[in-house]
Structures are given as C-alpha cells and as structure tokens.
Amino acid sequence: MALKLLRTIRLDPSDGFVYSHAAEPGEWAVTGTFRFFAADIESLSGKERQAFRAGFMGVESFGWSTLVIVTEATAEEVAAATERLAEQLVARCGAPGMAVARAAAQEEIAFAQSLCSHPPNTLVALHRAGEEAGIRESFRTLHRKVSRLDPAAAFRIIEVEGEEGAMEEVDIVVLAGRHK
C-alpha cells in the first residue's frame, strides 16, 4: 500500500497576505494545532487568528498554508518529515529532547496521514474553532467538478464535501469601509 502525506499548496498568492509567516508551496504539512494549545483563543486577532482558524503548518518553515494536497510519499520521505518536525519541536517549541519530540512528531505525522484516505491530488481545507472542551477541527475536501463542458469552461467549479453550511458570515460592505 502506498503511503500518503499532506503537502502545502498555493493556488494564489493570498497565503502571503493572510498569514504572518506563510509556508512555502510543496512542504510536508501537519495540522499544527498544537501551536495553539497554550493560546488564549479569544484574544487572537488578525493574522494569528487566521492561522488558528484555517492554517495547516509546513514542517520545514513552521509557516501556514490554507490548503494542502494529498500526495504519495515514500517511507523515507515520511521518516524525514517526522525527523524534521521533531527537530523543529526542539528548536522552536522547547521540547526537552529528541526522544520526546520524535514521539510527538510521529503522532502529528500519523494524524496528517489519517487525513490522506482520499486519492492523490485531493485538496484538503481545515477549520478550527475554540470550544469549552478545547479546540475543534473540521476538515473538508475540494474536488474539481467534472462536466461535459469542462474544456470550454471559463470558470472552474469546485465541489465541497464535509461542510454543512457557512462557518461564518462576511459583510463585504463593512470590510470595504475598513480600507478607506
């Protein structure tokens, strides 16, 4: 059975604007939710809040990506991603040593792999919310809709699976007023 792992992807340059530190395209990725365990979720704002709400974490850069893609990976690539994440946990998060960091990295990578039950090239999006019981994560997949007019389509249509309704409302008029 082929192994799979998540990779960061950019469909447009928006990640560079919405996150204080955007992941580079093509990095191995994990959810990165552990970075918010000690945070006061209610006080997050701006780019930090956006990273909390919708960011996957790139293993190499520790930056954020709105979307990831399911990708086939070799056992060596999975092992290298796990080792790199463990190194990052020691260097950036204060893990007490590589043994502890490696165990945590293995859990993070295993969870990321559990999101890869879809075919390769499936896009995955994340939504986090703070609740009394802790942080709730929900995931959805995005697939290109195939139609008989596909080659002639001026616009691409994407079907969303796993989302019951709008997570939040956006008032464009209010947003436009903020930038005057």
Residue 53 pLDDT exceeds 70: yes
End-to-end CA distance of the chain: 55
pLDDT at 160: 61
pLDDT in tens, 87-102: 999 999 999 999 999 9
**Domain ranges (residues) in the chain:** 3-178
**CA–CA distance from 124 to each of 1, 5, 97, 115, 176 (Å)?**
21, 11, 32, 8, 29
Using a pLDDT cut of 70, give the percent of the chain over it. Answer: 79
DSSP 8-state symbol, 25: T
Q: Which residue has the higher pLDDT, 23 or 155?
A: 23
Longest dimension (CA), the chain: 57
Residue 63 pLDDT exceeds 90: yes
Residue 58 pLDDT exceeds 70: yes
Sign of CA dihedral 83, 86, 88, 90: negative
